[in-house]
């Protein structure tokens, strides 16, 4: 299988002395048509991976080592303008919080058709037609009416549907979904997950699905990457990861997550010993890296 | 719905204007200075003075005077100017268009400068451009409009005589307008030479009024622009592939305009105040100039009429601003 995106041993840090390391030799690949999950606790570097791909890294950050490949072409820096793809057309984004992600002073129609007009050169009228069909694809009833509304007139779930429709509008090759269900309540969450999965398979898109929720990831992803401290600790097919995790941290995470299929199991918090252990590993990596880049 | 809102707002404006009328009326009779003593020839007898007082109704108790004045206003009569011997209403109507042209042009220039400067400052954040704009904004705000008048007059009227420095229109141009809205009339009758001359006369006073106004507007606009730039919908716009300039002008600007518009309503009051001195400096025949001569002459009816006019202008502007909120912010519509 061809890979849409490959990240090899990527080291990214904020250029200070000593540097603040954000990604420590992270590896990740996204195969064509796959949904690749990226899980980890806050601060693990999940969002940074998505920002590196999109070209929105914090000020002063720099690539210290490693490679990023998109469809075979190498991306050597973090500069947005040097991306070998059209942002918003070939690579799109589903944000975390649908309540604040739409422009409050623009009608839904204008927020959906702008990319269609910009990238597919559609006439406004044809773009609106396409927006109508996109909205029915994300199961919004009466799409013509919704197009005339402003974001504040829609519920959170409706807004997330609109954002998903925008993300898939130009048939992108990669969609990055950054915790797309975290801000929604559980019943809506399930519908939205199903919807994302359907959209992804009907558009044949590859997807990077970022979440801190193992349960959510297990439902939707083909491959799961577990991140900690800027490193990808384990990459496994979703089924294998949940039945036979290989890394101690993954095991610890799984035994800390409630499971519907095994309701009697006791939950176990991630032990302090393990956290200290992993902290030590990271610290020794940092020492090696500093020795490497600054001497 | 909308019509009812408008009616309500207009009705609510009446008490505001009434309060202004009371304050002005009482104040004008408390401050020292007497219009009669300004107009009598030397050596007039006390009887003559008493006669004059009676003619202008100034011998009656203050409350009676006020009621007579209010009654006049209700009938559309603002009284007669003591110094100019003409109807106050007519005097004001003759001068109002000139001031409106000046105020509208200044406001337009100020808004244009403020928007350009703040968009540029946000676009070129943390660069030399931002620092230069910071300096300019500071200077523009620190220098008051009458001082700007003198500076512009000196540099672009005297040292480099690019613009005329007095009046509204070159008298050698034969232009016989029906209304006093010279500018609009000149445009509609295709008198481009007149339009050009009017603009040349307006240039210095309107820039003098616009500079400090633009500076304070751009401070607020920049603040709200940079706040808007950190919102989630801006991230989405960037990820849609819009350039930084597009993100600012198409997404952030409209969201940031609301606080700026509120401020521009407040600033409008200062702008009207500013016209008084600036018109005087440039001998511009507007309300401000009329106000100064009215004050100097202690022309009570004229001063009252002028301040009432300013109050009405202020109320109308703020009404327009409130209406424009709904235009900009869809969340306020239908309430």
Task: Report yes or no on B304 lying in a domain.
Answer: no
Residue B146 and residue B100 share a domain: yes
- Quote the CA–CA distance of A285 and A171 in Å, as a whole number: 40
What pLDDT does A295 receive? 55
Strand order in the sheet with A223-228: A91-94, A174-178, A206-211, A35-39, A223-228, A231-237
CB-based contact B242 A88, cutoff 8 Å = yes
pLDDT tens per residue across all 335 residues of chain B: 667 777 888 888 888 888 888 888 888 887 776 777 777 777 778 888 888 778 777 778 888 888 888 888 888 888 888 888 888 999 999 999 999 999 999 999 999 999 999 999 999 988 999 999 999 999 999 999 999 999 999 999 999 999 998 888 888 887 788 888 888 888 888 888 888 999 999 999 999 999 999 999 999 999 999 999 999 999 999 999 999 999 999 999 989 988 888 888 888 878 888 999 999 999 999 999 999 999 888 888 899 899 889 888 888 888 888 888 878 888 877 54
Q: Which residues contact A15 (CB under 8 A, 6 or more apart)?
A: A60, A61, A62
Which uninterrupted H or E stretch holds B254? Answer: helix B253-281
pLDDT tens, position by position, A197-213:
999 999 999 999 999 88
Closest residue by Cα to residue A181 from A194, A166, A169, A172? A194
- Secondary structure tally for chain A: helices H, strands E: 11, 10
What pLDDT does B330 receive? 82
Residue B53 and residue B28 share a domain: yes
Query: Which two three-digit tokens encode residue A120?
Result: 């597919």
Residue B116 and residue B50 share a domain: no
CA distance B114 to chain A (A): 21
Residue B254 and residue B215 share a domain: yes
| CB A220, CB A193: distance < 8 Å | yes
| CB B180, CB B93: distance < 8 Å | yes
8-state DSSP, A249: H
- Quote the CA–CA distance of A242 and A224 in Å, as a whole number: 10
For chain B, how big is the Rg over CA atoms in Å? Answer: 24
Task: Report yes or no on B29 lying in a domain.
Answer: yes
| CB A44, CB A57: distance < 8 Å | no
**Mean pLDDT value of segment A18-47:** 89
Long-range contacts of B181-188 (CB under 8 A, 24+ apart): B181/B97, B181/B100, B181/B101, B182/B97, B182/B98, B182/B101, B183/B101
Residue B194 and residue B148 share a domain: yes
The parent domain of residue B56 ranges over 2-74
- Using CA atoms, how far residue B316 sits from A271, B22, B102, in Å, is 69, 19, 17
* Chain A residues in contact with B231 (beta carbon < 8 A): 100
Residue B225 and residue B123 share a domain: yes
- Quote the CA–CA distance of B187 and B196 in Å, as a whole number: 10
- Mean pLDDT, chain A, rounded, equals 88
Task: Report yes or no on B311 lying in a domain.
Answer: no
- Quote the CA–CA distance of A28 and A207 in Å, as a whole number: 12
With vertex at residue A249, the alpha carbon angle to CA A247 and CA A250, rounded to the nearest 5 degrees, is: 65
Residue B262 and residue B129 share a domain: yes
Residue B255 and residue B135 share a domain: yes
| CB A146, CB A166: distance < 8 Å | no
Q: Give this prediction's pTM.
A: 0.83
What pLDDT does B335 receive? 45
| CB B152, CB B204: distance < 8 Å | yes
Name the closest residue on chain A to residue B126, using Cα atoms. Answer: A59
Residue B97 and residue B67 share a domain: no
Task: Report yes or no on B200 lying in a domain.
Answer: yes
- Quote the CA–CA distance of B130 and B123 in Å, as a whole number: 9
Give how many domains chain B has, as a whole number: 2
Query: Which two three-digit tokens encode residue A189?
Result: 């969450």
Residue B206 and residue B153 share a domain: yes
Q: Which of A101, A150, A177 to mutate to test the interface with B (most CBs of B within 10 A)?
A: A101
Q: Strand (E) positions, A213-274?
A: 223-228, 231-237
pLDDT tens, position by position, A141-194:
999 999 999 999 999 999 999 999 999 999 999 999 999 988 888 888 889 999
Tally of CB atoms within 10 A around A162: 27
What are A74's strand-pairing partners?
A69
pLDDT tens, position by position, A35-54:
999 998 888 888 889 988 88
* Chain A residues in contact with B236 (beta carbon < 8 A): 93, 95, 101-103, 163
CA distance A288 to chain B (A): 34
In degrees and rounded to multiples of 5, residue B239 shows phi and psi of: -70, -20
pLDDT tens, position by position, A68-115:
888 888 887 777 777 778 888 899 999 989 999 999 999 999 999 999
Residue B13 and residue B116 share a domain: no
CB-based contact B231 A100, cutoff 8 Å = yes
What pLDDT does B322 receive? 82
Q: Is the peptide bond before A18 cis (omega within 30 degrees of 0)?
A: yes
Task: Report yes or no on B318 lying in a domain.
Answer: no
Residue B218, helix vs strand vs coil: helix
Q: Which of A58, A103, A166 to mutate to test the interface with B (most CBs of B within 10 A)?
A: A103
Residue B150 and residue B126 share a domain: yes
- Residues from B contacting A (CB-CB < 8 Å) are 231-233, 235-242, 251, 254-255, 328-331
Closest residue by Cα to residue B254 from B322, B329, B323? B329
Task: Report yes or no on B306 lying in a domain.
Answer: no
- Quote the CA–CA distance of A134 and A131 in Å, as a whole number: 5
* Boundary residue ending a domain (B74, B105, B133): B74
* Boundary residue ending a domain (B47, B74, B101): B74
Long-range contacts of B286-294 (CB under 8 A, 24+ apart): B286/B95, B286/B96, B286/B98, B286/B99, B286/B102, B286/B168, B287/B92, B287/B95, B287/B96, B287/B98, B287/B99, B288/B99, B289/B95, B290/B91, B290/B92, B290/B95, B293/B83, B294/B81, B294/B83
Q: What is the ipTM of this complex?
A: 0.86
| CB A178, CB A50: distance < 8 Å | yes
Residues 103-142 of A with CB under 8 A from B: 103-105, 107, 114-115, 118-119
Task: Report yes or no on B322 lying in a domain.
Answer: no
For chain A, how big is the Rg over CA atoms in Å? Answer: 20
Task: Report yes or no on B35 lying in a domain.
Answer: yes
* Chain A residues in contact with B329 (beta carbon < 8 A): 104-105
* Boundary residue ending a domain (B20, B44, B74): B74
């Amino acid at each position: 299988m061809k890979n849409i995106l490959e990240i090899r041993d990527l080291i990214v840090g904020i250029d200070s002395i000593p540097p603040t390391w954000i990604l420590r030799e992270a590896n990740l690949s996204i195969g064509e048509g796959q949904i690749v999950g990226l899980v980890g606790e806050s601060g693990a570097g999940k969002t940074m991976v998505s920002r590196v791909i999109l070209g929105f890294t914090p000020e002063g950050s720099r690539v210290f080592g490693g490679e990023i490949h998109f469809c075979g072409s190498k991306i050597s820096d973090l500069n947005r303008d040097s991306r070998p793809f059209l942002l918003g057309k070939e690579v799109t984004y589903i944000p975390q919080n649908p309540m604040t992600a739409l422009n409050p002073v623009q009608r839904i129609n204008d927020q959906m058709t702008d990319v269609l007009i910009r990238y597919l050169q559609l006439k406004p009228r044809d773009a609106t037609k396409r927006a109508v069909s996109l909205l029915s694809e994300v199961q919004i009833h009466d799409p013509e009416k919704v197009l005339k509304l402003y974001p504040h007139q829609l519920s959170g779930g409706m807004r997330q549907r609109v954002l998903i429709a925008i993300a898939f509008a130009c048939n992108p090759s990669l969609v990055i979904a950054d915790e797309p269900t975290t801000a929604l309540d559980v019943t809506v969450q399930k519908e939205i997950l199903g919807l994302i999965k359907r959209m992804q398979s009907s558009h044949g898109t590859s997807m990077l699905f970022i979440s801190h929720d193992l349960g959510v990831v297990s439902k939707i992803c083909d491959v799961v990457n577990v991140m900690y401290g800027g490193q990808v600790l384990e990459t496994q097919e979703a089924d294998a990861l949940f039945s036979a995790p290989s890394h101690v941290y993954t095991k610890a995470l799984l035994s800390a997550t409630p499971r519907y299929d095994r309701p009697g199991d006791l939950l176990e918090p991630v032990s302090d010993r393990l956290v200290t252990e992993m902290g030590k590993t990271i610290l020794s990596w940092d020492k090696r890296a500093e020795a490497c880049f600054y001497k | 719905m909308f019509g009812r809102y408008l009616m309500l707002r207009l009705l609510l404006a009446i008490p505001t204007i009434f309060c202004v009328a009371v304050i002005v009326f009482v104040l004008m009779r408390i401050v020292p200075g007497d219009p009669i003593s300004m107009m009598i020839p030397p050596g007039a007898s006390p009887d003559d003075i008493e006669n004059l007082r009676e003619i202008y109704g100034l011998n009656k108790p203050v409350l009676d005077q006020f009621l007579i004045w209010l009654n006049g206003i209700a009938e559309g009569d603002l009284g007669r100017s003591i110094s100019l011997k003409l109807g106050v209403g007519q005097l004001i109507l003759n001068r109002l268009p000139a001031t409106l042209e000046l105020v509208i042009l200044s406001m337009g220039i100020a808004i244009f400068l403020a928007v350009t400067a703040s968009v540029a400052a946000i676009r070129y954040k943390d660069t030399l451009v931002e620092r230069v704009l910071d300096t300019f904004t500071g200077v523009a705000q620190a220098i008051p409009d009458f001082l700007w008048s003198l500076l512009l007059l000196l540099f672009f009227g005297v040292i480099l005589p690019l613009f005329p420095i007095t009046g509204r229109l070159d008298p050698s141009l034969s232009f016989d307008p029906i209304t006093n809205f010279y500018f609009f009339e000149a445009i509609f009758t295709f008198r481009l030479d007149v339009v050009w001359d009017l603009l040349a006369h307006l240039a210095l006073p309107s820039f003098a009024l616009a500079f400090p106004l633009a500076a304070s507007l751009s401070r607020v606009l920049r603040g709200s622009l940079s706040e808007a730039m950190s919102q989630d919908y801006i991230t989405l716009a960037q990820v849609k592939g819009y350039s930084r300039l597009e993100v600012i002008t198409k997404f952030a600007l409209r969201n940031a305009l609301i606080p700026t518009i509120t401020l521009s309503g407040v600033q409008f009051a200062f702008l009207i105040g500013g016209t008084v001195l600036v018109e005087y400096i440039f001998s511009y025949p507007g309300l401000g100039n009329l106000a100064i001569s009215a004050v100097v002459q202690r022309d009570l009816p004229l001063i009252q009429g002028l301040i009432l006019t300013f109050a009405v202008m202020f109320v109308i502007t703020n009404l327009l601003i409130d209406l424009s909120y709904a235009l900009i912010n869809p969340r306020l519509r239908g309430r």
